[in-house]
Chains A and B, each alone.
Chain A
């Protein structure tokens, strides 16, 4: 490749040359500085990078000079920034996902069956099963290959407020407004084990323990309006620990990959607990109103577990072999984490979000302001580089995942945006709002990719399957659309 560059250089002598130093995101340098013509394009830079890294398969990269992306050629970027060409220019490269998810464009089916509004929708970690909880107290399982109903799980006595798949995809936990938790088997649609009772008010969120900490998928954390968090042992069917410290309703819980539990509450705090002994480690304060939602940078990896999106096929398969799963999951987890720690974003009713490094310190890394109404949901992109926040001010804002810097706003909805979901390759974002439309946004361009109308009423829940093939949405009009 050096010879190729030299040949090019020999061709046009007039073109300016500049010294660049390739660095990765953490600042580690790759090779030594070398000089390239100023009009080099990102494709050629990619070839160079791949050659230097000696990868077997070429990986696509994005290049940044001082946080400005190199789009057409290095020269134009340098000109815009007004940098000197005498010095060595640091060029940061970012690997992109090898696979590419196509944007969803049409509604393949509308699955009816629920007799009341659909409140929560979730794909299983492999993308094989789809479960939806609704106000008619049932949880329904849907067969994705034929897009028809598979099972109806009856047992709850009130609205099913939250559902959560276990990381191995073999169990589904659902919590209802009467503070009961049921466990279901997706293959037969029947209940596994006992009903977990103990909370006194409705269940707001459910979260399983990550696969790499325990391959059996035994422990489940649930939060409720009664200000407590309970850790349940699903094998024995009883409550293992009760964590009480919040003074108002707990809105969200996330189980981190290093055994820490993060909970957010309406008492304006986020608390960090050690899952092993239930001891509270830290309280993160700073919000001025209810904290509605939490997002961990490793959320996606913990959810999909050992499933590799690149190996997805049209027919999703089950996960087999728990030991292997555990290893795969651990590998995925640690590669994603890289050098740093898990980051946490909390969105609140005070129109702002905080970016925390909860394992290290009490002070937030950054405060993300800009929304004009309460923030309903925040989500890290699967590659943890971006944060998307959906708010009641009809816009979605994209922020940088490491520093919390504001990147762009996605406007288009005419009603409060309730939920968002990232595609597996972090290039697309789908959002559902109360104006009954779903919008697919292209993050690279910062623009709308596709508008998906069709729902008759507000959309309460949106999910993108981990293999990137389908998006499911459900809402007040009682029907689920794929």
Chain B
């Protein structure tokens, strides 16, 4: 009666395991519970899978949409939706590619970092004035506003006229006069003020380099991107954007 005994032993095993799990204590119990928990999860998963298979058959009866004639069946043509998304992707790439700069991402400078609050008034209570703590560029014909009404103070010590610009291919550096600040990545306010921080795109006078266009005209202005923190170094280092 080997088979009978075997069958009965196997069916008793379940109860014995359950009894063991309840009665065990200590570290041994912890390990055993962990093992049993994992087994139970697996079993639950398989049961769910079996159940899913039963319910899936019902869906198969419905005829799928998108009927095509026999000559189109084996062809996987791009559906119109896919084509549209391709177009959108291309447009995005084009837009992104407009400003390909050596430093694509820089740390954004907050207002507290760049502008220092200046207190004024008889009791030093008014706090509407700000002083720029970073290097800035002001144009040639710059005249301060009347000091009493000046909101943004750009100290003369932090005003620079020249930048050390490196040509990426020639690997030579030139000291070129700055023509203007094109874009400060942190904020458009800084662009209008002329604040130069790391990553700012500035326009420099390159007539010294002697570049000429195909039509024979002399190039005298080019963009360059600042690569150092000028307020720490005392000079503006930039890379020419060719």
Contact A159 B63 (CB under 8 A): yes
On chain A, the residues within 8 Å of B72 by CB distance are 460
| Interfacial chain A residues near B73, Cβ < 8 Å | 161, 202, 225
**Contact assessment for B63 and A120 in the assembled complex, using a CB-CB cutoff below 8 Å:** no
> For chains A and B in complex, what number of residue pairs have CB atoms within 8 angstroms?
50
Which residue of B63, B67, B71, B74 contacts A418 across the interface (Cβ within 8 Å)? B71
Query: CA separation between A120 and B65, bound complex, in Å?
Result: 16
Stretch binding the partner chain, chosen from A40-48, A60-68, A131-139, A315-323: A131-139
A377: B residues at CB distance < 8 A = 71
Contact yes or no, A376 B71, CB < 8 A: yes
B63 close to A137 (CB less than 8 A): yes
Taking a contact as CB atoms under 8 Å apart, the answer to whether B67 and A134 are in contact is yes
Chain A interface extent, by class: 20 to 34
| Interface residues as binary, B59-78 with A (CB distance below 8 Å gives 1, 0 otherwise) | 00001011111111110000
Find out whether the CB atom of B63 lies under 8 angstroms from the CB atom of A157: yes
Chain A interface SS verdict (over half):
strand
Residues of A within 8 A of B65 (CB): 116, 135
Question: Across the two chains, which residue of chain B brings its CB closest to A176?
Answer: B63
B70 and A135 contact, CB distance less than 8 A:
no
- Select the residue from B65, B67, B71 with max chain A CB neighbours within 10 A: B67
Q: Kindly provide the distance from the CB of A38 to the nearest chain B CB, expressed in whole angstroms.
A: 51
Main secondary structure of the interface of B (DSSP, over half): loop
User: Does A332 sit within 8 A of B, measured CB to CB?
Assistant: no
Contact A135 B71 (CB under 8 A): no
Distance from B76 Cβ to chain A, minimum over Cβ atoms (Å): 14
Q: Kindly list chain B residues whose C-beta atoms are within 8 Å of the C-beta of A119.
A: 67-70
Give Cα A323–Cα B69 distance, bound, in whole angstroms: 36
Taking CB atoms, residues of chain A closer than 8 Å to B66 are: 135
A134 CA to B65 CA in the complex, in Å? 11
The answer to whether B67 and A135 touch across the interface, beta carbons within 8 angstroms, is yes
A461: interface (CB < 8 Å): yes
Contacts A135-B63, A137-B63, A158-B63 given: A120-B69 contact, CB under 8 Å?
Answer: yes
A478's nearest neighbour on chain B, judged by CB, is B67
Q: Report the bound CA distance from A124 to B69 in whole Å.
A: 20
- A135–B64 Cα gap in the complex (Å)? 9
30 residue pairs bridging A and B, Cβ less than 8 Å apart: A116-B63, A116-B67, A117-B67, A117-B68, A119-B67, A119-B68, A119-B69, A119-B70, A120-B69, A135-B67, A136-B67, A137-B63, A157-B63, A161-B69, A161-B70, A162-B70, A202-B70, A202-B73, A203-B70, A204-B70, A205-B70, A225-B73, A225-B74, A249-B74, A251-B70, A266-B74, A292-B71, A376-B71, A418-B71, A460-B69
Task: List the 10 closest pairs (A to B, CB-CB), nearest first.
Answer: A135-B67, A117-B67, A161-B70, A119-B69, A159-B67, A204-B70, A460-B69, A116-B67, A158-B63, A137-B63
